[in-house]
Amino acid sequence: MSAIDDLIAQVTDEKLRALLQREADKLKKGKKFGLVFEPHLPERALLHGVPVRVGSKIVPSVDNASDGAMKALWRVVKIEGEKAICVPEMAAEGRKNARKEKEIPLPPPEARSFALNEVVAVAEFGEAIYPCLQRIDAIQNAPESALWHTLIEAENYHALQTLLWLYEGQVDCIYIDPPYNTRAKDWKYNNDYVDPSDAWRHSKWLAMMERRLKLAKRLLNPRDSVLIVTIDEKEYLHLGCLLEELFPEARMQMVSSVISRQGATRQMQFGRVDEYIYFLEFGDCAVQGLDLSDEWRMNANDSRTLRLLWQPLLRGAKNGRRQYSPGCFYPIYISEDGSRFVEIGDALPLETDRRDIPDRKGAITLWPIRQDGSEGVWSCSPKTLRDLQKKGYVHIGKVRNGHAALTYLKKGNIRKVEDGSFKIEGYNADGSIISTNEYREIIPGTQWRILAHDASRYGTNLLNSIIGNRFVYPKSLYAVHDALRFFVANKPNALILDFFAGSGTTLHAANLLNAADGGQRRCILVTNNEVSADEEKALRADGHKPGDEEWEALGIARHVTWPRTVCSIRGENVRGEPLAGQYLGTERDMAAGFAANAIYFKLGFLDKTSVALGRQFAALLPLLWLKAGAAGECPTLDGAAPLPPMLLYPANRFAVLLDEKHYAAFRSELAQQPAIDTLYFVTDSEKAFQNMAEGLRCRAAFQLYRDYLENFRINVERTA
């Protein structure tokens, strides 16, 4: 039934459309569990900027056409000067199918003329379109850093399919704040605002979410990752059922978070003070205990006061015997009074008897001997232990009878030392650190009543102080920061994705996390460039349409998300004035900005034939840069200049062989560039590609352009 509704909307004859709709309405009276739901025809891809040619599918981009004409698809059959002569797409398809079957004569379809500058090309779901990334702008506030965040202006479904080739199974955290489906001007389906009285409004929203969540599932690292989704009471029940259906392997919890203590007034109803957050954990992912304020202690199910924990260096596990880990069996020499390390020896081969190794004069030799007298192993290799000892993370206990126990700090405690949770107060004689302060580790309950999560004060007011009154209902910066922190505090190199980016709070929060602990977490934002309903009305009244510079300049990506990103990194508002105040819970001035870099792309589309012939390499270069890890500033090429036989980008850690005849020289050049670990080969031969890749033994190798054409059919639904 939902598909029938979608098709009826494309009928251009108003009288026929009304009759069909009336009959369809009678059929959809029945509901299941109070919800009218069926899969809907997928959204169309509007290809702004793509030339309209004979054979193109188009929709009008102006509102002076009838409602049916606006929703209908048209096929261009002829171009006369600045006019496109079109027929309804359903009629064109019907004639084509009739010719295929029995050559049934059909009446000629009703043609219609549209001005070329008043139509936009369309790709329907199932038709391949080939993406590229067009650089719009960049901000570099840390030239010495290889870390780059990314903003992609695009319809997020197509951006997600593009990201699949780049990062399938690699994303550590996805945080999304999708449209809440609360009012007529909340979100669009097929470029139309969804009417709150539409019987399919929940169904359309769920269909929209389902397609994107299926792609999100493929992007998440199944071994250790988290999906975080915020929602309010309008769709939380439906969303919960959808999440359970799509992610049966995940551990799911829902948190209620107070975002407005005053509450949103509802006539004759309880005022809404909270919203809901779904957390879905995959693989080994788990909530991390954090050093939190007393606000978080309500219903905390795990609250501990911790001191720095020194662990025995002698491995105590059942497999902690020499024969299982010979690389961790080696002598450690300490001074006779136990005040210092003399030397950390090398690992002994299994066939070597430790008693054949001479002692050092004036030193005690320590071996990993277990309580039963058998040979055990130390908990780390000689190289690792030397590094830990230099940093003060290994300690010598009291010497008794020519022996001393050794202890060391594991990664979790080291991280808390290096992020400042445990303060270094001094050093022992053996070089080990002294830290006596306490660290409070809290895992809170499912009711969050945190003042810093107030969306008005730390969302709207904060954003207004940066870019002015350009966006309604932004999230509190600290609400997003805290939600992320429970899962990526222990992942300083996490890849974070937000494909409903809105004002860009997630990237701002990622920078705040990195500033606190020196992390290199990278954030990818995806948002369209839609204008608000009021702005759209005013722009159309002035004769503007999507694609016009006046229209695009007011879109969310260009007018909100990117300015916030630039300003927060620079530490100034859109007027160039220093930001006032400090970030909560830190001593960091907002005016200090962040040591971070970010680049802004718009998703564009290429001609398949040109790609296959290698004429679009310059347009593909940003995608290759992202796939190689987005290290260093994105390189550029003059698309009109002849291409060299090879390109090497050591600062970006990738290289491209464009002419396989130069393979020997390419290999020689790579030998001088150890930082390069991702390679691209332009070759039509699968065998040649395999031979070249195997000969270089790089971390990752890809065959262009075949790899692009097969993987970047982004408008086609593919299974894993």
Residue-range domain boundaries for the chain: 2-123, 146-184+192-304+444-594, 311-429, 601-711
C-alpha to C-alpha distance for 252 and 280, rounded to whole angstroms? 4
Read off the DSSP letter of residue 576.
S
C-alpha to C-alpha distance for 465 and 467, rounded to whole angstroms? 6
Tokens 């190689």 belong to 628
Burial 173-183 (b: 16+ CB within 10 A, else e): bbbbbbbbbee
Q: How crowded is the C-beta side of 13, counted as CA atoms within 13 Å? A: 9
What DSSP element (H or E) covers 78? strand 74-80
* Single-letter amino acid, residue 8: I
Q: How confident is the model at residue 227 (pLDDT cuts 50, 70, 90)?
A: very high
Crossing angle for the helix pair 663-671 and 686-696, to the nearest 10 degrees: 20
* Single-letter amino acid, residue 358: P
> 476: helix, coil or strand?
coil
Crossing angle for the helix pair 617-627 and 156-167, to the nearest 10 degrees: 70
Read off the DSSP letter of residue 639.
T
Length of the chain: 720
What DSSP element (H or E) covers 669? helix 663-671
Q: What is the DSSP string of 234-260?
A: TTHHHHHHHHHHH-TTSEEEEEEEE--
Mean model confidence pLDDT for the chain: 86
pLDDT at 108 over 90: no
95 or 631, greater pLDDT? 631
Q: Strand 447-448 relative to strand 439-443: parallel, antiparallel, unpaired?
A: unpaired
In this prediction, residues 281-306 reach a mean pLDDT of 79
> 594: helix, coil or strand?
coil
C-alpha to C-alpha distance for 119 and 86, rounded to whole angstroms? 11
Angle among Cα 8, 196, 497 to the nearest 5 degrees reads 95
The pLDDT tens digits for 189-203 are 555 656 666 666 777
* Residue 707: other Cβ atoms inside 10 A: 16
Q: Nearest Cα to 380, choosing from 329, 341, 414?
A: 329
Predicted pLDDT of residue 40: 61
441 or 631, greater pLDDT? 631
> 295: helix, coil or strand?
helix
Predicted pLDDT of residue 280: 98
Q: What is the DSSP string of 301-312?
A: SEEEEE---PEE
In this prediction, residues 624-649 reach a mean pLDDT of 92
The pLDDT tens digits for 560-584 are 999 999 999 999 999 999 999 999 9
Crossing angle for the helix pair 477-488 and 505-517, to the nearest 10 degrees: 60
* Single-letter amino acid, residue 287: V
Tokens 């992020």 belong to 419
In order of 213, 247, 496, 511, the CA distances from 277 in angstroms are: 16, 16, 17, 22
C-alpha to C-alpha distance for 627 and 166, rounded to whole angstroms? 5
Cβ proximity of 621 and 643 under 8 Å: no
Cis omega before residue 705 (within 30°)?
Answer: yes
Q: How confident is the model at residue 623 (pLDDT cuts 50, 70, 90)?
A: very high
Q: How confident is the model at residue 415 (pLDDT cuts 50, 70, 90)?
A: confident
Q: How confident is the model at residue 522 (pLDDT cuts 50, 70, 90)?
A: very high
Predicted pLDDT of residue 437: 77
Q: Residues of the chain with pLDDT > 90: what percent?
A: 56
In this prediction, residues 167-186 reach a mean pLDDT of 85
Fold of 146-184+192-304+444-594: Rossmann fold (3.40.50)
C-alpha to C-alpha distance for 168 and 521, rounded to whole angstroms? 18
C-alpha to C-alpha distance for 514 and 629, rounded to whole angstroms? 18
In this prediction, residues 425-438 reach a mean pLDDT of 91
150 or 190, greater pLDDT? 150
Read off the DSSP letter of residue 193.
E
Backbone phi, psi, residue 193, to 5°: -65, 140
Q: Which two tokens stand for residue 65?
A: 């056409």
Backbone phi, psi, residue 570, to 5°: -75, -25
Predicted pLDDT of residue 371: 86
Candidate from 123-132, 431-440, 476-485 with smallest mean pLDDT: 123-132
Q: What is the largest CA-CA distance in the chain?
A: 106
> Which strands sit side by side in the sheet containing 597-606, from one edge to the other?
130-140, 597-606, 149-153, 522-527, 495-498, 173-176, 224-231, 274-283, 251-258, 447-448
In this prediction, residues 470-487 reach a mean pLDDT of 95
Predicted pLDDT of residue 33: 47
Tokens 């024969």 belong to 323
Predicted pLDDT of residue 12: 74
Q: How confident is the model at residue 670 (pLDDT cuts 50, 70, 90)?
A: very high
In this prediction, residues 362-390 reach a mean pLDDT of 94
Q: What is the DSSP string of 415-445?
A: HHHHTTSS---EE-TTS-EE----EEEEE--
Read off the DSSP letter of residue 369.
B
Predicted pLDDT of residue 719: 44
C-alpha to C-alpha distance for 494 and 517, rounded to whole angstroms? 13
C-alpha to C-alpha distance for 178 and 193, rounded to whole angstroms? 15
Q: Which two tokens stand for residue 503?
A: 């004002």
